[in-house]
Structure 1
Amino acid sequence: MPLRETLVRAGLAPALATVLDEMPHRVVNIDPRRPFREPGMPRNETMFVTSGLVAKFKNDSSGRRQIVALRFPGEGVLPRDGNASYGIQAIVKSEVLLGKSDDFDKVVEDHPELAKFFWRLVQRNESIGYEWLVNTGRRDSTARVAHLLCETATRYGLDVATQPLMNPFTQQQIADITGQTSVNVNRVFADLERQGLIKRAGREIRFLDWPELLRVASFQPGYLD
């Protein structure tokens, strides 16, 4: 999907989306089997996801991975000074558009409205980060997985009454997001099915009782606004 269209879908005015679309950039396809950017590398680039799903991750001293953020189509990773403490890896096969930070900075300087747009995105990502912190720190295993399902369906813009979620995650990736083991994630999915909240068929997840799933997950979507 063209960058302009993804940005308009993300809420940017069409004229400003055109300005960003005209910024020099290249299309890169990311293979989910290996990291696209390792932690500790310079992040002198801007990245916009046009298809797929991309994650930020960090490793502990034992090499165990924690996924700390997700970027859906229309979302991006902004440049920063120095090296980034996180790595970047695709969850599924993904396409991103990469531009140089110098080109991005000039566009934003020339169009102050863009600075306001990206500041709102930064604030939104901060709110999501706070919610994830509560999810891994205070909610039980079932609520953690249920919350991730609710957030993923909402960020994809699904009509949950009629559209299934094509689960993009492996059980290990869900474990890496929710801070538990893949064995426990498998048990949670079985529990959600037994409770009549979801129904799985391969990677397809249908939501059978969305209001109850929201309650189990303690999911209030206002932080995604």
Structure 2
Amino acid sequence: MSASGAGPGLPRRLALRDDDAVTAPLIRKLERFGAVSAEDRGILTRLCVPGDPVGPRTEIAREGEPPDGVFVLVEGMACRYKLRADGTRQILAYLVPGDFCDLDIGLLDRRDHAIASLSACRIARMDPASLGDLVSQQPRLVTTLRRANLVDDATLREWLVNLGSRSAIERIAHLFLELLMRLRAVGLARGDGYDLPVSQLDLADTTGLSTVHVNRTLQELKRQGLIELRSRILMIRNVQRLTSLAGFDPRYLSLSSTMLR
């Protein structure tokens, strides 16, 4: 889904890493919420079992099925979503490298939503029982994991505000800025641009808009000189103006000031 190259001034396609860096995005994410010691890194490396590559637009976890471990996204972009009986889809979250596909899913008998890749992905699997053992053996690391999970909850609340209170152009602008900040935090943005393997239908299913409305909104953002979107790569041309337009306040992401620049 991603472009093999980028035009002048745009970020190049993000290359897949070797298996020895499976936990790198996760560790970068966790370092925002607490110190990650060498021992912690070793534990996470042992817990994260690398999985096979997943192709774009591929189901990773099906709604209604028993959870098969806790997944960590290593490469690419995925989404969680729900399907209605008529086949319409609501995207509930975008997952970027370092994100858990539900840290506490092992507490449930069945998944209440589905997860699918948007681009080519790599995932790692963590055994829920092993995670449970951490509670008594590594409580500080567990606290860090839970802090990261709280940001996922805060992001969901912000998405609800997006759907209920913002205009079409504000919704899309807010989403683009959120993804920029989240990808910066794990070292996967290049300047003010990033790989965006998301279709206009995906954006429609995320923001509660029609594809026609999404298209018009993207054209307006381009017309105002705020974004450039080419070959599935997004470049934000004026972060300050886009932030003002969206009313974007990144505090819900719990990022350091250096990550916001």
> How many residues are aligned here?
225
Q: Is the 8 A contact 1:40 1:83 kept in 2?
A: yes
Q: Is the 8 A contact 1:198 1:205 kept in 2?
A: yes
TM-score of the pair, normalised by structure 1? 0.92
Q: Is the 8 A contact 1:51 1:73 kept in 2?
A: yes
- After superposition, give the CA deviation of every residue in 1:107-151 in whole Å (9 maximum; x if it has no partner): 343211122012102211110000000001111111111111101
* Higher RCO by CA contacts (8 Å cutoff, separation 6 or greater): 2
1:8 and 1:35 map into 2 onto residues whose CA distance is 25
Change (3 A) 1:28 1:160: closer
Cross-structure match for 1:58: 82
User: Which residues of structure 1 form unaligned runs of 5+?
Assistant: none
1:56 and 1:109 map into 2 onto residues whose CA distance is 30
- Aligned alpha-carbon RMSD (Å): 2.0
3-state SS in 2 of match to 1:58: strand
Q: 1:9 aligns with which of 28, 46, 54?
A: 28
Q: Is 1:178 aligned with 2:181?
A: no
3-state SS in 2 of match to 1:69: strand
Q: Is the 8 A contact 2:22 2:124 kept in 1?
A: yes
Greater fraction of residues in strand: 1
1:178 and 1:82 map into 2 onto residues whose CA distance is 30
Change (3 A) 1:6 1:165: closer
Cross-structure match for 1:25: 49
User: Which residues of structure 2 form unaligned runs of 5+?
Assistant: 1-16, 255-261
Q: Is 1:189 aligned with 2:213?
A: no
Q: 2:171 aligns with which of 144, 169, 174?
A: 144
1:8, CA displacement in angstroms?
Answer: 2.1
2:224 and 2:48 map into 1 onto residues whose CA distance is 51
- After superposition, give the CA deviation of every residue in 1:34-55 in whole Å (9 maximum; x if it has no partner): 3221111112411111110121
3-state SS in 1 of match to 2:251: helix
Cross-structure match for 1:200: 229
Q: Tell which deviates more after alignment, 200-209 or 13-22.
A: 200-209
Q: Is the 8 A contact 1:160 1:210 kept in 2?
A: no
